A and B are shown apart, each in its own frame.
Chain A
């Protein structure tokens, strides 16, 4: 498209209904970060209740905080940056939602949290974080923006499908938010929505409808990512010259493509149970509140769990694989060394993707499965831990002997290594059936998966944002604010999630609205509830430095160089930001692998060899 055609595009076609993967990536990024903030806020409310059960939630304080944050963004953006100023609406929106929670008698009557509302917060926190936050950020934002650039493509293979997948996600997300305002409130049966409770509980119908949209969005996106990666690689970009980030997005796309349909069916069946009186998951003679419900029966509640976890286990690899991809990019760039064991990483990716379909019922060890089935899932689960160990080992070996630059993205990437290590290791007792009997549905599980998702994936996303910000906006984020953000976040996250492992081992169950207050066995570890709430507060406060950093950086006029990190991969071979249509002024040709740092060319050391520069490497 010529520049004249481009400037003739209306505002709507250029920024709202754009088919450009970069615009769509930013749309995904902004929306998913907003949902992450919302999901975080829901959890802050929960954590207050857990630390001070039965006491008044200071909702007004939270409302004021968010209004002030919104005003701050407005003031800092000023009239010169109207689109930046619009982001204040996100904060005002969250403030309004918290205020809404305080109204009526069903949520915080007199400021005191009702158990039903605690359950809503819990179910929606999980749902929003997983489906509306992490995956859209990992795949929709990072994947969409970076992948075509890293393979040297002008855009995704199907640009209009790309646009469709964003807007379908947007609809699903909107429906999820709307569910808070419906009679009965939002879903409150956990993000796992187990039958038969979810079949008859309030708030679930809208959750299911929203999920149908979200799943369609993922399927459309997955098709696009796979076709793009296979078909649109620039000339010379052979498979083993791909940046590892691209590999992770490819495997992730296959997981989404082949695993989500089972939840789509499960969701349709649960929806029919709710609105059409079907009994897919409802056993005969089910009784609620002393009354026999009018269902034909004959359904199987465990069928829901099979359909759900068939997706949800591959889903957790969807949460982590893009993060591993990001970390690999940042680590190689900041150790100034090639990746140690690139083929091992790729084969491990294939292996983990394949195995992820065969392990799912380790989430169901306490449902009464027979010993043979349990043994199968236990064995496959332990086997699937091996590729993760390979990932960690390769990254550590890559760091060994490198000249490590402690840039802000690198801080996050370095911290990721031990954090993901803790997350992964704490998964092992859960993957073995006997200890899982004790640990299932306790805070140990919550600690395990939060270690992987929060100081795991989210830390990786921060690394990616600091790393690729200059690519997207032409300016580097401020390093000092970045370091403050880093330390506060990592300390806060450990303070929040480590005690969960302790509480879980003591036997404190999850999803208790009083944090274990009513149980004898929980008494010795109850004090940790307050620690964890303080940890959550610390995480929240230090995100202010991150938001401030983004606003101030976007506001300033001066730009950084086009390749401030001296990186080798193709996204840095074009302007920052890349030109609007087509990304590259001339189609790039690829001559080397992705991580040629400090290599020898004609007897001389070259600090970094961009993939598209024609030079012969000597070994």
Chain B
């Protein structure tokens, strides 16, 4: 390591050293946000809208909440690339698991099982 740079790196390291109190505050803020979003989820559910809109709103808020939990509580936002890549493919397969069977049964929605 070149001597002229070592001091700079030392200073940089100290500046960048994450203070745990900051992280704790961040977690508390996320926690409170999640509680607020929960109230929001329940509140929006009382407005009768079309089925599609209700599902979209509920899913959107849930996805936002889930992203907060995953990104911050589960530290995904600073996680190593390998984990992100594996989760990315997992989500693709999850979509396949949800949409492929549904695309089949969708053809027969509303048709009663009569003999």
Contacts and interface: CB of A to CB of B under 8 A. Distances in A.
A230 B80 CA distance: 13
B82 A230 contact: yes
Contacts of A300: 105
B1 interface: no
Contacts of A368: 108
Contacts of A283: 113
Contacts of B90: 258
A285 B113 contact: yes
Nearest to A354: B89
A1 interface: no
Interface stretch (B3-11, B31-39, B70-78, B96-104): B96-104
Nearest to A356: B93
A593 to B, nearest CB: 23
Contacts of B115: 285
A228 to B, nearest CB: 14
B82 A262 contact: no
Given A284-B113, A285-B113, A285-B115, A302 B97 contact: no
Given A283-B113, A284-B113, A285-B113, A372 B103 contact: yes
A358 interface: yes
B101 A303 contact: yes
A357 B96 contact: yes
Chain B contact-residue range equals 10 to 19
Nearest to A285: B115
Nearest to A259: B93
Interface on chain B toward A: helix, strand, loop, or mixed SS?
helix
B107 interface: yes
Category for how many chain A residues contact B: 20 to 34
Given A230-B82, A354-B89, A373 B97 contact: no
A310 interface: yes
A376 B103 CA distance: 10
Given A284-B113, A354-B89, A357-B96, A306 B107 contact: no
A284 B82 CA distance: 47
Nearest to A298: B113
A95 B104 CA distance: 47
Interface string A359-384: 01100100011101100100000000
B82 A361 contact: no
Interface in A224-246: 230
A488 to B, nearest CB: 42
A306 B97 CA distance: 9
A258 B113 CA distance: 32
Contacts of B101: 303, 306-307, 310
Contacts of A370: 104, 107
A368 B111 CA distance: 13
A373 B103 contact: yes
Contact of A357 (B82, B93, B104): B93
Interface in A48-107: none
A370 B103 CA distance: 9
A372 B113 CA distance: 22
Interface centre among B96, B103, B104 (most CB of A within 10 A): B104
Contacts of B97: 262, 310, 357
Given A303-B101, A373-B103, A358 B96 contact: yes
A354 B90 CA distance: 10
Contacts of A364: 104
A257 to B, nearest CB: 9
A391 B110 CA distance: 45
Interface in A263-310: 283-285, 297, 300, 302-303, 306-307, 310
Nearest to B89: A354
A442 to B, nearest CB: 23
Nearest to A353: B89
A361 B104 contact: yes
Contacts of B100: 306, 310, 358, 360-361, 373, 376
Nearest to B102: A306
Nearest to B115: A285
Interface string B4-37: 0000000000000000000000000000000000
B104 A369 contact: yes
A376 B105 CA distance: 15
Contact of B107 (A303, A307, A310, A369): A369
Contacts of B113: 283-285, 297
B1 to A, nearest CB: 23
B96 A373 contact: no
Contacts of A284: 113
Nearest to A287: B115
Contacts of B96: 357-358
A372 B105 CA distance: 12
Contacts of B104: 302, 306, 361, 364, 369-370, 373
Contacts of A285: 113, 115
B101 to A, nearest CB: 4
Contacts of A361: 100, 104
A258 B87 CA distance: 11
Nearest to B100: A361
A59 B61 CA distance: 65
B108 to A, nearest CB: 8
Nearest to A370: B107
A376 B107 CA distance: 14
A380 to B, nearest CB: 10
A354 B82 CA distance: 16
Nearest to B93: A357
A368 B105 CA distance: 10
Contacts of B93: 258, 357
B89 A373 contact: no
Most interface-central of B89, B101, B107 (chain A CB within 10 A): B101
A303 to B, nearest CB: 7
B95 to A, nearest CB: 10
A372 B99 CA distance: 13
A169 to B, nearest CB: 24
Contacts of A302: 104-105
Given A258-B90, A303-B105, A369-B104, 16 more contacts: A285-B115, A297-B113, A300-B105, A302-B105, A306-B101, A307-B101, A354-B89, A357-B93, A357-B96, A358-B100, A360-B100, A364-B104, A368-B108, A369-B107, A370-B104, A376-B100
17 contacts: A285-B115, A297-B113, A302-B104, A303-B101, A303-B105, A306-B104, A307-B101, A310-B100, A310-B101, A357-B93, A358-B96, A369-B104, A369-B107, A370-B104, A370-B107, A373-B100, A376-B100
3 pairs of A and B residues whose beta carbons are closest in the complex: A306-B101, A370-B107, A283-B113
Interface of B: 82, 89-90, 93, 96-97, 100-101, 103-105, 107-108, 113, 115
